[in-house]
Amino acid sequence: MKTIYILWLRQLKRYVRSKSRMIGSLAQPLLFLVSLSFGFGPIFQKAGDGNYLNFLVPGIIGMSIIFSAVFSGMEIIWDRQFGFLKETLVAPVSRFNIMFGRTLGGATMSVAQGLIVFFISLFLGFRPTSWIIFPFVLLVMFLVAILFTALGTMIASLLEDMQGFQLIINFLVMPLFFLSGAIFPLQGLPKALSIISSLDPLAYGIDAFRSLLINVTHFGLGTDILVLSITSLIFLGLGSYFFSKIQI
Amino acid sequence: MNIIEVKNLVKKFGDFIAVDNISFDVKRGEIFAFLGPNGAGKSTTIKMLTTLLNPTSGSLLLDGNNPVLDSNKVRKSFGIVFQDPSLDDELTAWENMEFHGVLYDVPKKLRRERIEYLLKFVELWDRKNSLVKEFSGGMKRRLEIARGLLHHPKIIFLDEPTLGLDPQTRNHMWNYLKELNKNEGTTIFFTTHYMEEAEKIAQRISIIDNGKIIASGTAEELKTKANAKSLEEAFLSLTGKTIRNEDTGSKDSMRMHRRMWTKR
Ligand SMILES: Nc1ncnc2c1ncn2[C@@H]1O[C@H](COP(=O)(O)OP(=O)(O)O)[C@@H](O)[C@H]1O
Ligand SMILES: [Mg+2]
């Protein structure tokens, strides 16, 4: 327990101390939020789909979480490069605890990020249908954050250096984001695209946010939570497996 | 009575043989040194002993446990000061110590006492709340040493611990380690390419070069064997060459840079 806590704390401290990273990881979702909602809002409205900002906010919350979660998971590459990874790897702590502590730390930061985006969107005029669901929103945020931090950890355990990082962002995280229905509805997509989207775990996270925040759902909240939980467990397992295989 | 037993250990990186079929034992409570030039395979051997790297072939036992199969048990029995940097630059000196102490389950009160003692010991106590990234190379090295001494394991590995350390801290550190060895029976395994250090500190020495152990014994035995007056002369006549002194800081970081620049 103590070891999980100290690893969690370390991730937190590193994050809080890195101002540029904090600002950077907020700027992107805000840019999307503002430009897309002003840009596409009128068209969306005309097409009879309602208020685009309301539709978009859950998607952008998901976006800010996935980016910051994958990024913190992949911080292992930095640790390896700067040598600190050795220090954790020789410690008499189970690999699962190390991996889990780090993942919780990264996930906590990502949830904070998602919350900030949420509160900012309130200023832009976003209104959730009800406030009672707020704890559930937090819970789903946490699930999504854990899932993608674990995924980042898993990938980073397989990479030797920073080269692969940009590749993963461009060819994995970006597609996951765009295919998740974060910025357009999944209803009425071409068959092929719709199948791909249903394989994207982020789609379930965002659908759960929409279901809770604006009462619109594609898969159904139960399915969302089930898929997110199972996928999180799988990635936690795989992540700690690959993490335990790291050699230096 | 052997706390470390190594038989026919081999490590290959691709076609390159970094550790070439070495066998040696270290007795419980002994101070043992690996003496050899850069690239001899000292660090690679330590990495295999400390569960960071799997051997290509051969057998390893640490306090009766196999580092590959019983890695968790093995990790409970040793502490290590790495040759290459292993601090978290974004944490303070104190936080680095605390992190280590918690991971190694040093009880809180003892932990706080030792952290204070050791940080004073390496003269970093008044900088305890500074981020490590603000430290000079020498300060970082001292912090690594202090951190390595925070918990008291059965075996302490020190991989070129005195590289880049001022003579004063060097002395200080060896005195501390000898005390630990005497009082707690801690086994000490260190590598060096300073012959005086090996001769002065180690009870037994293995000379390693090109991945092979060329000779083992006490400094006296090695001298007799080579019919030499000093360990340096013995080394020369056993290996047929001089030790390339401190040609670079760290192989690991050189490799790292190479990788960073070439794989683009
Ligand atoms: N991960 C690695 N990949 C390729 N070669 C390596 C690796 N680690 C070490 N080597 C090579 O193995 C040899 C022994 O290295 P090392 O054990 O670090 O030597 P020492 O610690 O005695 O200076 C060196 O030639 C080094 O370049
Ligand atoms: Mg070395």
CB contact under 8 A, B91 and A81: no
Structurally, how many domains does chain B consist of? Answer: 1
Interface probe with B: pick from A9, A75, A86, A245, most Cβ of B within 10 Å: A86
> Are the beta carbons of A72 and A64 closer than 8 angstroms?
no
For residues B96 and B129, give the distance between their C-alpha atoms in angstroms, rounded to a whole number.
10
Atom number, ligand 1, closest to the C-alpha of residue B40? 22
- Residue B101 sits at φ, ψ, to 5 deg, of -60, -40
Q: Residue A199, SS3?
A: coil
What pTM, to 2 d.p., does this model score?
0.90
Nearest to A71 by CA among A162, A132, A184, A182: A162
pLDDT at residue B243, rounded to an integer: 60
pLDDT over threshold 50, residue B250: no
Ligand 1 centre and the CA of A89: distance in Å?
Answer: 19
Cα–Cα distance list, B196 to B193, B233, B250 (Å) = 9, 12, 21
Q: What is the pLDDT of residues B169-179, one digit of tens each?
A: 899 899 999 99
The pLDDT of residue B244 is above 80: no
What pLDDT was estimated at residue B227? 85
Q: Tens digits of per-residue pLDDT, B105-139?
A: 999 999 999 999 999 999 999 999 999 999 999 99
Q: Is the pLDDT at B230 greater than 90, yes or no?
A: no
Total structural domains within chain A: 1
Query: Residue B29 region, left (φ>0) first, then alpha (ψ -120 to 50), else beta?
Result: left
DSSP code of residue A171: I
What is the average pLDDT across B37-58?
96
Contact criterion met (CB < 8 Å) for A86 and B256: no
Amino acid at B143: L
pLDDT score of B260: 43
Q: Separation of A87 CA from ligand 2 center, angstroms? A: 16
State the smallest CA–CA distance between residue B247 and chain A in angstroms.
21
Asked if residue B252 has pLDDT above 80, the reply is no
State yes or no: pLDDT of B262 exceeds 60. no
- Whether ligand 1 lies within 6 angstroms of the CB of B38 is answered as yes
With H, G, I as helix, E, B as strand and everything else as coil, classify residue A113. Answer: helix
For Cα atoms B135, B159, B97, give the angle at the middle one, nearest 5 degrees.
Answer: 45
B237-261: b or e for each residue (b if 16 or more CB lie within 10 Å)? Answer: ebbeeebeeeeeebebbeebeeeee
> Which pLDDT score is estimated for B248?
45
State residue B62 phi and psi, 5-degree precision.
-120, 115
**A91 inside 8 A of chain B by CB:** yes
pLDDT for A149-178, tens place per residue? 999 999 999 988 788 888 888 899 999 999
ipTM: 0.90
Nearest by CB: A10 against B80, B82, B91: B91
Asked if B53 lies within 8 A of A248 by C-beta distance, the reply is yes
Give the range of the structural domain holding residue B87, as residue numbers without chain letter: 2-259
Lowest mean pLDDT among A243-247, B41-45, B161-165: B161-165
With respect to residue B264, please indicate whether it lies within any of the assigned structural domains. Answer: no
Tell the residue nearest (CA) to atom 5 of ligand 1. Answer: B13
Reported as a single tens digit per residue, the pLDDT across A170-198 is 899 999 999 999 999 998 889 999 999 99
Interface contact flag, A161 B50, Cβ < 8 Å:
no
Q: Which residue of B has its CA nearest to A89?
A: B52
CA A25 to centroid of ligand 1, rounded, Å: 38
Cα–Cα distance list, A98 to A88, A158, B95, B145, B226 (Å):
8, 16, 17, 23, 49
CA distances from B134 to B93, B166, B189 (A): 10, 19, 31
Tokens 């704390």 sit on residue: A9
Within 8 A of A84 by CB-CB distance, chain B residues are: 86-89
Task: Give every CB contact of residue B79 below 8 A, 6+ residues apart in sequence.
Answer: B104, B148, B149, B150, B151, B152, B153, B155, B156, B157
Closest CA to B33 of B217, B174, B170: B217
Q: How many CB pairs under 8 A join A and B?
A: 84
From the candidates B86, B141, B145, B254, which should be mutated to test the interface with A, based on the most A CB atoms within 10 A?
B86
pLDDT in tens, B149-165: 999 999 999 999 998 88
Residue B40 Cβ < 6 Å to ligand 1: yes
Residues of B in contact with A163 (CB under 8 A): 260, 263-264
User: pLDDT digits over A6-20, tens only?
Assistant: 999 999 999 999 888
Average pLDDT of span B179-202 = 93
pLDDT in tens, A75-116: 999 999 999 999 999 999 999 999 999 999 999 999 999 999
Q: Does A35 touch chain B (CB under 8 A)?
A: no
The CB density around residue B57, as the number of other CB atoms within 10 Å, is 10
User: Which residue did the predictor score with more confidence, A68 or B233?
Assistant: A68
What does the buried/exposed string (b/e) look like for B135-163 if buried means 16 or more CB atoms within 10 Å of the residue's CB?
beeebbbbbbbbbbbbbebbbbbbbbbbb
Which residue bears the tokens 């004073």? B120
From chain B, pick out residues whose CB is under 8 angstroms from the CB of A3. 102-103, 105
Element (H, E) at A148: helix A134-158
Q: Tell me the HSE value of B246 on the side-chain side, using a 13 A CA sphere.
A: 8
Going from the C-alpha of B256 to that of each of A57, A149, A242, B42, B136, the distances in angstroms are 42, 25, 21, 18, 21
Q: What are the strands of the beta sheet with B204-209, ordered from one edge?
A: B78-81, B155-159, B187-192, B31-35, B204-209, B212-217
Closest alpha carbon within chain B to A83: B86
Q: Looking at ligand 1, which residue's alpha carbon is closest to its atom 3?
A: B13
State phi, psi for B68 to the nearest 5 degrees: -80, -45
The bound ligand whose nearest atom lies closest to the alpha carbon of B54 is 1
Q: Is A2 on the interface with B (CB under 8 A)?
A: yes
Residues in CB range of B226: below 8 A, 6 or more apart: B215, B233, B234, B235, B237, B238
A124-129 average pLDDT score = 90
At B242 the pLDDT is 61
Q: How far is CA B140 from CA A77, B3, B135, B245, in A?
A: 21, 30, 6, 22
| Strand pairing class (B16-27; B31-35) | unpaired
Tell me whether residues B98 and A6 touch, CB distance under 8 A: yes
| pLDDT exceeds 60 at position B48 | yes
Name which of A123, A114, A124 is nearest A148 in CA terms: A114
Asked whether the beta carbons of residue A17 and residue B90 sit closer than 8 angstroms, the reply is yes
- Domain of residue A171 covers 2-244
Which atom of ligand 1 is least distant from the CA of B160?
Answer: 21
Which residues of chain A does B260 touch, with a Cβ-Cβ cutoff of 8 Å?
A: 161-163
